[in-house]
Each structure stands twice: as C-alpha cells, then as structure tokens.
C-alpha cells in the first residue's frame, strides 16, 4: 500500500511537505571508515589495495591480476549472447549520436574596445569510472558513463569494479570494450576511489571520478572532492508519473515498479486527476508485484515510499512536480509538452503514453545518470560537459589597457589591494 495524498484535503500541505523530506536512505555514517581506508591507500599504495581486496572481495592479486587483460575483454565480448551484444551496440550508437550534439563550441571574439575575450573547452586529461559489483553491476551504466567521456575526447578512461573472487559480469566487460575504455582494475569500495584520486604503484591517478556506488564509495568521493573532480553523489532512484485516466493502468503500474525494483529506497509516485484511475493503478501494481523476481525489493519500496497523489486538475500539477524535482518524470497525457513547459525541475522528461522511462535507461540515446533525491532543483544529468572544462581567455593591447586600466586601479584601491593596483598602473605610467 502506497501513501495517498489528496491535493484538496485540508492537511495536504503538511502531509506533502513531510512526504518530501522523508529520508529514503539509511544515512550510515561510514565517513570515518572511508577516510581511514583512503589514508591507508595513500600511505601504502598497492599493498593496501591487495589487503582490502582479499578482505572485502575474497580476491587475491597473486592469483588474479589487479588489471583486466585485453584478452579478458575480448573473451567476455565473445561470450555474451549475440542479442545482448547487438542491443549494447545499438545503445552505444544512439548514446554516442545524442551526446555528440552536446559538444560545446569555443567562443573567442573581439569586443568593441578591441579586447579579445573567450571561452575555450578542453577534455579532462583522465577520468575514472566507478562500476558497482554484484547485483547493481549494469552494462548499461558503463555505456552511459564512458561514452560521454569518449565523445568529450578524454584521452584516458579507467574503470574500477569490485570483482568478487575475481569475477566481473561479462556484459560489463563487453560494454567497456564497446565504449573504448582504456584500463580496467578489479578493485572497489573506498580503496578504489582512493587509488583513482591519489594513485598507487600500479594506477596512475585520474583528474575526475564518476559513477555510482554504495555508502562507502559515496563517502570516499565526497572526501577526495577537491583533489579530483567528482560527479553527483547518487542516491536511490525515483520516478514521478503524471497521468490522466486515458491510460492503461497496467502500463503505468509497470513503470512505477520499474523504479521500485531497483532498491528498497527507490520511490515511485503517481499524480492523477482521477481517484478511480489511481485505485486501478494501485491494484495493477499489487497484481504485478507478485510476478517479479525482485518482488521483495519492489514491495518494500512501494510500501515505504510509493505515493498516489490526487489533484483536481493536471494543469495545477506543475508546482508539486517542481517541489518533488523528480529524477524521471513521465507525462502520460494528451498534451505532455504543454505541461512540461510549466515545470522547471526534473532530471528527464518522458513524454506521452509510449515513452516508458525504461527506454531512456537503455536505448533512447539520452543519459540515464540523472539527479536523484530532489537534486534536479540544482543539477543536471551526466553529459559531455562533465568530462570537459572551460578556460577563459583575455588579451589586451596598450590601447585597451588604457581604456580599462583606470577603472581596475580604482577598484583595486577601493579593495585595499595595492599590488593589484600597481600591476595595472605600472603599465599605464611606465615612467613612474
């Protein structure tokens, strides 16, 4: 049973506000442990990695090497089902094509005074992708993280992935091969983040780390931020479905469950203007839950965090959607574009009745790494820009310095910065 909220009930605002602030993650305080592991890897390098892998992954680097050999990649690629291989290629192609459009253009120009100004974009020199092991080891995520880096022109792309007893999902390795990843290491956890950030004898440090991970990985990423760049700190996934009654309740129930099966902390929300339709979706969810191999996970997620919100009319949904700021927002109405135009905060929009969010997880072409836990209010999905950085450019001649210099001297003096003022003044009055 999901929670029901009625927009027209007197206590709606209070209940909705409480709903928004419900924590969906045990905030395990793993900070201290993660910091100790990082310090240890900094101090002892490969030796520390060897010990942690033995301890956490039952993996001995004397028997299975830390680095995955090119032959292992080829073997994995050859071993997977041809239909999976084809689907990965189709996904990779579509992701690449879409992300190529995100490549920024340099903008170098001369203004009216003759000052040259500009923005120049360059790829980050090396990036590390964290790929989770076990149940959440998804080949699709390898494509979604690595291809934008490749499109950006990153010359060195490294993957770290925990390998229980040395084993890595072959589909993950096949995806890495398709995406053109340069190096893969069988390490995980905070120790892998430390190795990427600070380097060891075997691993040359990178400049930025992306990709999802457990609480230790998240704590480690937060800690190394500054030494290297990081992407967002990923939390459990969520979907908001806005739907009128002209939908098949079974279709939308399936969409809600596709989020719920990810994680007990995942969240699925339906907003509808028809309570009967809401009840039909709820019944369909209960029916379909029984069919899922991850039924327990999905049931817990739906029970603890699922919600059905009934509103008097769908047009009035925008302010609620903005406060929810969903990672995934499906709009299954007759005119989804009109409603989208009124909504500011969403990681990704899926429009119409034939765009289940799952298409975007795999083969839509857009990225499936999206801002969770209401962070779509201030951040964006992963893109080519996350693997690039911009340098600004300024060039003045004597004339331009004469035109702008005095104002710079005035402001520097006002700020009490003598040497700032002098660095301009000395060029304006070389005699002094």
Active-site residues: which are they? 327-328
Structure tokens at 63: 């028997």
Name the one range near a second copy by CB under 8 A: 11-19, 41-49, 58-66, 354-362: 354-362
Residue 214, annotated ligand binder? yes
- Backbone phi and psi for residue 356, each to the nearest 5 degrees, phi listed first: -65, 145
Restricted to residues 258-317, the positions that interact with a second copy (CB under 8 A) are 258, 260-262, 288, 291-294, 298
CB closer to a second copy, 271 vs 285: 285
Closest by Cα among 313, 245, 246 to 278: 245
Is 250 a binder of a second copy (CB under 8 A)? yes
Comparison of 66 and 196: residue with beta carbon closer to a second copy = 196
Contacts with a second copy: how many residues (CB under 8 A)? 126
**Could you say which of 233, 244, 274, 286 contacts a second copy (CB under 8 A)?**
233
- Answer for which of 74, 177, 356, 429 binds a second copy (CB under 8 A) is 356
What is the Cα 237 distance to its own chain's centre?
A: 11
Per CB under 8 A, 103 contacts a second copy: no
Give residue 7's region: left, alpha or beta (phi > 0; psi -120 to 50).
alpha
Residue 375 lies near a second copy (rule: CB under 8 A): yes
Tokens representing residue 142 in the block: 């390898």
Whether 231 has a binding-site annotation, put simply, is: no
Asked if residue 255 binds a second copy (CB under 8 A), the reply is yes
Joined together, the tokens standing for residue 308 give 């059905």
Query: Does the footprint of a second copy cover residue 380 (CB under 8 A)?
Result: yes
3-state DSSP helix/strand/coil percent for the chain, to nearest 5? 50, 15, 35
Closest CA to 381 of 17, 95, 105: 95
For a second copy, which is the closer residue by CB, 189 or 347?
A: 347
**125 interacts with a second copy by CB under 8 A:** yes
Residue 69 DSSP one-character state? P
Q: Residue 343 has which token pair?
A: 């909504």
d(CA 238, CA 259): 6
Backbone angles phi, psi at 274, to 5 degrees: -135, 105
Decide: helix, strand or coil at residue 65. Answer: coil
Handedness of CA 85, 90, 93, 95 (dihedral sign): negative
Q: Which is nearer to a second copy, 64 or 409 (CB)?
A: 409
Which span (7-15, 44-52, 157-165, 407-415) binds a second copy, by CB under 8 A? 407-415
C-alpha torsion 278→279→280→285, nearest 10: 90
Which listed residue (6, 244, 248, 286) binds a second copy by CB under 8 A? 248
**Is 267 annotated as ligand-binding?**
no
Specify the stretch interacting with a second copy by CB under 8 A; choose among 39-47, 56-64, 69-77, 98-106: 98-106
412 part of the interface to a second copy, by CB under 8 A:
yes
124 scored as a contact of a second copy (CB under 8 A) = yes
Nearer to a second copy, 8 or 429 (CB): 429
Structure tokens at 350: 């899926």
Residue 109 is inside which H or E element, if any? strand 107-110
Q: Which stretch binds a second copy (CB under 8 A): 42-50, 78-86, 183-191, 309-317?
A: 78-86
Q: Is 22 exposed, middle or buried (0-12, 13-18, 19+ CB in 10 A)?
A: exposed
191: annotated binding-site residue? yes
Helix H or strand E encompassing 348: strand 348-351
259 is in an annotated binding site: yes
* Among the listed residues 28, 60, 107, 246, the single contact to a second copy using CB under 8 A: 107
Give me the least distance between CB of 55 and a second copy, in Å please. Answer: 27
| Binding-site residue positions | 130, 191, 214, 237, 259, 262, 328, 361, 415, 420
| Binding-site residue positions for Zn(2+) | 259, 262, 361, 420
């Amino acid at each position: 049973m999901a929670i029901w909220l009625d927009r027209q009930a007197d206590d709606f605002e209070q209940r909705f506000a409480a709903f928004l602030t419900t924590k969906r993650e045990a905030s395990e305080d793993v900070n201290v442990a993660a910091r100790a592991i990082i310090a240890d890897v900094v101090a002892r390098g490969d030796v520390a990695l060897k010990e942690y892998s033995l301890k956490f992954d039952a993996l001995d680097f004397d028997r299975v090497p830390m680095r995955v050999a090119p032959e292992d990649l080829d073997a994995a690629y050859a071993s997977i089902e041809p239909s999976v291989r084809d689907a990965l290629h189709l996904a990779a192609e579509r992701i690449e094509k879409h992300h190529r459009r995100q490549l920024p253009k340099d903008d170098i120009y001369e203004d009216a005074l003759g000052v040259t100004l500009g923005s120049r974009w360059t790829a980050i020199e090396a990036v590390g992708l964290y790929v989770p092991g076990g149940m959440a080891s998804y080949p699709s995520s390898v494509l979604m993280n690595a291809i934008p880096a490749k499109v950006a022109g990153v010359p060195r792309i490294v993957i770290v992935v925990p390998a229980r007893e040395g084993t890595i999902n072959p589909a993950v390795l096949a995806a890495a091969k398709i995406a053109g990843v340069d190096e893969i290491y069988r390490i995980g956890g905070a120790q892998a983040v430390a190795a990427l950030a600070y380097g060891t004898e075997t691993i040359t440090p990178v400049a930025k780390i992306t990709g999802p991970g457990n609480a230790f990985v998240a704590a480690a990423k937060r800690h190394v931020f500054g030494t290297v760049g990081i992407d967002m700190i990923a939390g459990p996934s969520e979907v908001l479905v806005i739907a009128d009654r002209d939908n098949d309740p079974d279709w939308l129930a399936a969409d809600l469950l596709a989020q719920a099966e990810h994680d007990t902390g995942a969240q699925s929300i339906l907003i509808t203007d028809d309570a009967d339709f809401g009840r039909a979706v709820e019944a369909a969810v209960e029916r379909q839950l029984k069919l899922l191999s991850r039924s327990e996970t999905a049931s817990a997620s739906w029970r603890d965090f699922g919600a059905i919100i009934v509103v008097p009319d769908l047009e009035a949904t925008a302010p609620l959607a903005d406060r929810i700021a969903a990672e995934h927002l499906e709009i299954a109405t007759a005119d989804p574009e009109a409603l989208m135009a009124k909504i500011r905060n969403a990681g990704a929009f899926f429009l119409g009745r034939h765009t289940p969010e799952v298409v975007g997880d795999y083969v839509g072409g857009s990225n499936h790494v999206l801002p969770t836990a209401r962070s779509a209010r201030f951040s964006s999905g992963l893109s080519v820009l996350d693997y690039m950085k911009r340098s600004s450019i300024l060039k003045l001649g004597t004339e331009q310095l004469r035109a702008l210099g005095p104002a710079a001297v005035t402001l520097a003096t006002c700020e009490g910065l003598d040497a700032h003022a002098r660095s301009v003044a000395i060029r304006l009055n070389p005699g002094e």
